[in-house]
Amino acid sequence: MVAWKNMDTLNSFKEMSESKRVNLVEAMSGENGAKRAKEYSVPMAAGLVYNYASKEVDDEILDKLSAFANEAELVGKFEALYNGEVVNTGEKRLVLHQMTRGQLGAPVMADGVDKREFYVAQQEKIAEFANKVHSGEITNAAGEKFTTVVQIGIGGSDLGPRAMYLALENWAKKNGTFKMDAKFISNVDPDDAAAVLASTDVAHAIFVLVSKSGTTLETLTNESFVKDALAKAGLDASKHMIAVTSETSPLAKSSDYLAAFFMDDYIGGRFSSTSAVGGAVLSLAFGPDVFARFLNGAAEEDKLAMNNDIKNNPALLDALIGVYERNVLGYEATAVLPYSQALSRFPAHLQQLDMESNGKSVNRFGEPVNYKTGPIIFGEPGTNGQHSFYQLLHQGTDIVPLQFIGFKNSQIGTDVDIQGSTSQQKLCANVAAQIVAFACGKKDEDSNKNFEGGRPSSIIIGEQLTPEALGALLAHFENKVMFQGFAWNINSFDQEGVQLGKVLAKKVLAHETDGALKVYSDLLNI
Amino acid sequence: MVAWKNMDTLNSFKEMSESKRVNLVEAMSGENGAKRAKEYSVPMAAGLVYNYASKEVDDEILDKLSAFANEAELVGKFEALYNGEVVNTGEKRLVLHQMTRGQLGAPVMADGVDKREFYVAQQEKIAEFANKVHSGEITNAAGEKFTTVVQIGIGGSDLGPRAMYLALENWAKKNGTFKMDAKFISNVDPDDAAAVLASTDVAHAIFVLVSKSGTTLETLTNESFVKDALAKAGLDASKHMIAVTSETSPLAKSSDYLAAFFMDDYIGGRFSSTSAVGGAVLSLAFGPDVFARFLNGAAEEDKLAMNNDIKNNPALLDALIGVYERNVLGYEATAVLPYSQALSRFPAHLQQLDMESNGKSVNRFGEPVNYKTGPIIFGEPGTNGQHSFYQLLHQGTDIVPLQFIGFKNSQIGTDVDIQGSTSQQKLCANVAAQIVAFACGKKDEDSNKNFEGGRPSSIIIGEQLTPEALGALLAHFENKVMFQGFAWNINSFDQEGVQLGKVLAKKVLAHETDGALKVYSDLLNI
């Protein structure tokens, strides 16, 4: 049995806190820097590498991080999780998102079934359905093929699947596996659904309604929005919609849908990209084989998270460095900076994954913690970000740790050679340059042009953003967030903080308000 | 003459720092909360209202903020700026972006011309050109009308215009002023240009190359990318491209372009949405009249920024509250949360505007400052964000001040009534609920479900997101950032922090590297 203890009760945390700080300018300059850049590197799945040479750690600090990981039993807690312990204590639920892509430990029985078999069965059902849609066996009422899939969902049912779709869209087009466009309706703002529908050939669209509970207000509202549009076009909605939901939801057995695919309470929305939530839309868009390759990449990465040795466990190492940055060095935010336009919405997905999981002030027993937990996460793709907020990152009054991502090759492969280099080379040259610029800075007599340096970053480098690489990348960050939650002794798998707003919004709509809430309701004309 | 002094040398700042803190839970509860919600409200242009009742200020603190504004001469500094003083001291330049939409003070002569006349002339030239494109007087070589405009630019030449285009796209379609689709190519990642071009009918596309200097690496590279694609399609690039640049740039008189429109050194990229940088693409997409209405909204908002009374100067008040939050209350970030899908990229634009302007550690004389300057800015539209990072905002260990934006009416007007309310009402109910939830919280015996409250927010409320409202909104934030820069005594109008990365990237491409930079270059296969 693992012991769930607050971080600040552990000796190893105190020792970690008393570490001698690394001077990053010195560490990353000259031959010492070259040595670090080569050595501080951990292989990941799918040919990726996690390089942390430009983080404020050295061998001594790494030893302390390792000691902390051991005392906090971080890998043991992961083991408890994948063996089916009720790790989501607040909601009294198992946490099984890794099982959608593999079996890491013993079989886990729940709801009377083997859960791995359950997830595989859903994946197979989706694959079969998607193949029939692609072959023209399942069509619209007029017998015509569907050409677009539209996901209706919000939060985890939107951000992850959308980010993954954008990440692989061009890859699939280039590699001949692209089956149909995917679009997404999420916001309760009626202009969201109206605009998506206006640009969609609804007669040839298949809609995926995603709601675990079957009661998410935004999603059910947008479902009605879509049904109205289908009715106006003289179409039978039940021939255009599928549901992804839990088996116990009101949607599960409704004749309103062509088919229903199941998720369950053991997978939080933000961890659901590899479940039926991502599976339906991605299998329809790219084919089931691409989705399976994406899962394989994630499964391989998950296996690495089982290692006790932090130098063979990139997610754990990344997590520990993040805890050191947050709780010892005192940094409040982390920027995610993929040098890949295909990852344009990956930071938005990680923003949810991280901030919703670890933005907590009480431990897993409901007691207030005396230390900082999850940081603010934000980011945009490079090189765009360089021309935007990097000014503050380089010369602002706060230090923001950075997580770069880069690939040697582009997805599409079309390129131009200007001034002796391709665009892809320019892209890669920029991310290499940024790591060193942030770490080492550059002295200048004009203090306005002076760069202090000492600004830490890591980079994940891959050959190309393939389905496997994307799966590995996703799993890496999911596991990083999980390990950090374990380190902070919080429950990363509930989200009670979203409830109060929902309750008050219902009161506003029922006109049961007083005080300031009534004034704002009036100001907004509700 | 105004005196440029560091904030911490001012008595009024010390007094502001010693303010008794507001208990936001008490202040916003019951009838007191209703009173504040009604009273703490300032009219803006275009029918907008800035409501700050849920910020941690009271009449006493507002008096101190006002005294600080007076001692720091913030409005006087704006007066110096619009009357043509060299406020951008680092680059020794005037700062004239407000003049693209109106004349606030005395005529300003520079480069031998009256600058207001210069900007108006560019706007008129663009209007004439756009009208000819729309009427079919200017066509492609085959005599066919252009149907798409593609902006090639990065940073300020991308984020602002792109955010403004998305903000008005559906409004224009609904109101019959939509002329052509706009697309954007920005990243040096070759997959960005390749994907945009693959989805564009290049034979009927007009490309807008935007680079003030005519030397921006990404933009020139992407221009070549586009020219390659045009050549492959058998098209003459010079019949498909216009340039927006400075009169002294190599692009200005090139026969490579159908036309050139001018900006100048007195407008930073991030402040250029109301110049030719936004003007060309927005006038082509929506018609010159819509662009003119957008400028009018901004011009009206600018006039409010001239008021010495903080209660009649919403940008100044917003700026002062932000300084109080940053330097007295110690908050490190601000989230921008528009409850409007049309404003989906407005936070990304403000992220550049704010972080590139005020992410500085030295004052305008190049001396290090002893206080925090610009915060981290991030955000996503509501209600999407509620299902993402709001967990941390409600229950995380750091307090993040919030800036909500909401409109009573949607842009498209298509809606559904579910459970007795429309989607628009649900959208508005959610933002009203969030303000009160963040401020007042809610006690719960289960500490996991407890909301401490005390989390400050403001809201800008409008009737609808029209061109005028968008202009006012943009000018509000531009002026807020400007006033904060004045308060911090920094130069908000240069961006030396972006230079070092560029220099090192060139070295990488020239293979002139050693140490860590060489290792990363090798790892990335450059």
Give the span between the Cα atoms of B409 and B340, in whole angstroms: 10
Whether residue A232 sits in one domain with residue A144: yes
Domain count within chain B: 2
What are the pLDDT digits (tens) for B109-156?
999 999 999 999 999 999 999 999 999 999 999 999 999 999 999 999
The span from the CA of B28 to the CA of A229, in Å, is 42
3-state class (DSSP) for residue A504: helix
Peptide bond into B397 cis (omega under 30): no
Q: In 3D, which of A77, A115, A473 has the Cα closest to residue A267?
A: A115
Our measurement of the distance from residue B48's CA atom to the centroid of its chain's CA atoms, rounded to an integer in Å, reads 17
Judging contacts by C-beta atoms under 8 Å, the chain B residues touching residue A37 are 515-516, 519-520, 523
Tell me the C-alpha to C-alpha distance, in Å, between residue B306 and each of B74, B80, B460.
Answer: 10, 11, 19
Q: Are B82 and B486 in contact (CB under 8 A)?
A: no
Residues A158 and A228 in one domain: yes
SS3 B257: coil
Domain-located, residue B507: yes
Task: Kindly list the residues from chain A whose CB atom is less than 8 angstroms away from the CB atom of residue B397.
Answer: 360-361, 369, 371-374
Asked whether residue B426 is domain-assigned, the answer is: no
Distance from CA of B478 to the nearest CA of A (A): 15
Which of B243, B274, B295 represents a domain boundary (last residue)?
B295
Q: How far apart are CA B207 and CA B201, in angstroms?
A: 12
Cα four-point dihedral sign B221, A338, A304, A120: negative
Q: At what angle are helices A467-488 and A288-304 packed, to 10 degrees? A: 40
Q: What is the pLDDT of residues B459-498, one digit of tens each?
A: 999 999 999 999 999 999 999 999 999 999 999 999 999 9
Locate B43 and state its tokens: 């009219």
**Same domain as A302, residue A274:** no
A192 & A158 share domain: yes
Any domain includes A8: no
Domain that holds residue A523: 499-526
Letter string b/e over residues A173-196, b meaning 16 or more CB atoms within 10 A of that residue's CB: bbeebbbbbbbbbbbbbbbbbbbb
Indicate the DSSP class of residue A330: -
For residues A379 and A304, membership in a common domain is answered with: yes
Q: Residue A421 in contact with residue B509, Cβ under 8 Å?
A: yes
Smallest Cβ–Cβ distance between B500 and the set A158, A437, A447 belongs to A437
| A422 inside domain | yes
Best A184, A423, A491 residue to mutate vs chain B (most B CBs within 10 Å): A423
Indicate whether A382 and A417 sit together in one domain: yes
A393 and A254 in a common domain: no
**Are residues A253 and A122 part of one domain?**
yes
3-state SS of B121-159 is HHHHHHHHHHHHHHHCCCCCCCCCCCCEEEEECCHHHCH
Please judge whether A505 and B430 are an interchain contact, meaning their C-beta atoms are less than 8 angstroms apart. yes
The model's pLDDT over B400-452, given as tens digits with 9 standing for 90+, comes to 999 999 999 999 999 999 999 999 999 999 999 999 999 999 999 999 999 99
Residues A241 and A362 in one domain: no
Contact A509 B420 (CB under 8 A): yes
Catalytic residues of B: 356, 387, 502
Q: How do residues B361-409 score in pLDDT, each as one tens digit? A: 999 999 999 999 999 999 999 999 999 999 999 999 999 999 999 999 9
DSSP structure string for A267-295: S-GGG-TTSHHHHHHHHHHH-HHHHHHHH
Closest by CA to B279, choosing from B97, B65, B430, is B97
| pLDDT tens digits along B15-43 | 999 999 999 999 999 999 999 999 999 99
Residue A525's nearest CA partner among B385, B380, B410 is: B410
Contact (CB, 8 A) for B491 and B195: no
Contact between chains at A187 and B501 (C-beta distance less than 8 A):
no
Residue B61 in contact with residue B5, Cβ under 8 Å?
Answer: no
Residue pair A520/B435 in contact (Cβ under 8 Å)? The answer is yes
Contact A166, A344 (CB under 8 A): yes
The number of residues making up chain B comes to 526
Give A280's contacts (C-beta < 8 A, 6+ positions apart): A126, A129, A130, A151, A208, A210, A242, A244, A261
Nearest 5°: the CA angle B207, B213, B214 is: 40
CB contacts of B462 in chain A (<8 Å) are none
Q: Is the pLDDT of residue B183 over 90?
A: yes
- For A488, what's the count of Cα atoms within 13 Å in the CB-facing half-sphere? 34
Judge whether B430 lies within some domain: no
Contacts of A419 in chain B (CB under 8 A): 509
Q: What confidence tier does B526 reach under pLDDT thresholds 50, 70, 90?
A: very high
Residue type, A200: T
d(CA A257, CA A245): 12
Task: Give the whole-angstrom CA distance, residue A208 versus residue A365.
Answer: 37
Q: What is the DSSP letter of A263?
A: E
Candidate from B51, B408, B411 with C-beta closest to A191: B411
CATH number of the domain that residue A121 is part of? 3.40.50.10490
DSSP B265: T
- In angstroms, rounded to a whole number, what is the distance separating the alpha carbons of residues A452 and A10? 34
Query: What is the per-residue DSSP string for B420-438?
Result: TEEHHHHHHHHHHHHHHHH
Q: What are phi and psi of A422, to 5 degrees?
A: -85, 170
Three-class HEC string of B89-116: CCCCECCCHHHHCCCCCCCCEECCEEHH
User: Of B251, B253, B241, B260, which Cα lies nearest the Cα of B122?
Assistant: B260
Query: Can you read off the two tokens belonging to residue A497?
Result: 């903080």
Using alpha carbons only, give the angle A165, A168, A174 rounded to the nearest 5 degrees. 135
Q: How far is CA B381 from the centre of its chain?
A: 15
For residues B259 and B206, the answer to whether their CB atoms sit within 8 Å is no
The predicted structure's pLDDT at residue A250:
87
In a domain, B444, yes or no: no
Residues of A labelled as active-site residues: 356, 387, 502
CA dist., res. A351 & res. A343, Å (int): 13
Token pair for residue B325? 């939050």
Judge: A190–B424 Cβ closer than 8 Å, yes or no.
yes
DSSP for A466-495 reads -HHHHHHHHHHHHHHHHHHHHHHT--TT--
CB contact under 8 A, A33 and B515: yes
Torsion of CA B16, B22, B28, B32, to 10 degrees: -90
Q: What amino acid occupies position B517?
A: L
For residue A314, CA distances in Å to A40, A43, A308, B442 come to 11, 7, 11, 39
Structure tokens at A311: 């130098």
Among candidate residues B277, B295, B313, the one where a domain is terminated: B295
**pLDDT tier, B250 (very low <50, low <70, confident <90, very high otherwise):** confident
Residue A79 inside a domain? The answer is no
d(CA A289, CA A283): 8
**Is there a single domain that holds both residue A275 and residue A359?**
no
CA angle, A505 then A514 then B28, to 5°: 90
User: Are the Cβ atoms of B426 and A376 closer than 8 angstroms?
Assistant: no
Q: Nearest CB to A524: which of B406, B496, B506?
A: B406
The residues pairing with A185 across neighbouring beta strands, listed in sequence order, are A152
CB A221 within 8 A of CB A189: no
Q: Is the pLDDT of residue B343 over 90?
A: yes
The pLDDT value given to residue B420 = 94
Pairwise CB contact (< 8 Å): A500 & B437: yes
What is the per-residue pLDDT for A496? 96
Question: With contacts defined as CB-CB under 8 Å, which chain A residues touch B491?
Answer: 448
Residues A497 and A505: their CA atoms lie apart, in Å, by 14
Instruction: Answer positive or negative: Cα dihedral of B419, B425, B428, B429.
Output: negative
Is the CB of residue B467 less than 8 Å from the CB of residue B336?
Answer: no
Domain boundary among B295, B310, B340: B295
**What is the SS3 assignment for A251?**
coil
pLDDT above 90 (res B218): no
Query: How would you write the pLDDT of chain A (526 residues) with one tens digit per residue?
Result: 899 999 999 999 999 999 999 999 999 999 999 999 999 999 999 999 999 999 999 999 999 999 999 999 999 999 999 999 999 998 999 999 999 999 999 999 999 999 999 999 999 999 999 999 999 999 999 999 999 999 999 999 999 999 999 999 999 999 999 999 999 999 999 999 999 999 999 999 999 999 988 888 889 999 999 999 999 999 999 999 999 999 989 888 888 999 999 999 999 999 999 999 999 999 999 999 999 999 999 999 999 999 999 999 999 999 999 999 999 999 999 999 999 999 999 999 999 999 999 999 999 999 999 999 999 999 999 999 999 999 999 999 999 999 999 999 999 999 999 999 999 999 999 999 999 999 999 999 999 999 999 999 999 999 999 999 999 999 999 999 999 999 999 999 999 999 999 999 999 999 999 999 999 999 999 9
Mean pLDDT for the stretch of residues B51-74: 98
Of the candidates A164, A461, A462, A473, the residue with the CA atom closest to the CA atom of residue A301: A473
In this structure, is residue A3 part of a structural domain? Answer: no
Most B-contacting residue of A389, A415, A425, A465 (CB-CB within 10 A), to test interface: A389
- Alpha helix locations (H) across B359-409? 390-395
Asked if A447 and A506 sit in the same domain, the reply is no
d(CA B252, CA B443): 64
Q: Are residues A202 and A302 in the same domain?
A: no
Residues forming a β-bridge with A261 = A244
Taking the model in full, what pTM does it have?
0.98
Q: Tell me if residue A88 falls in helix, strand or coil.
A: strand
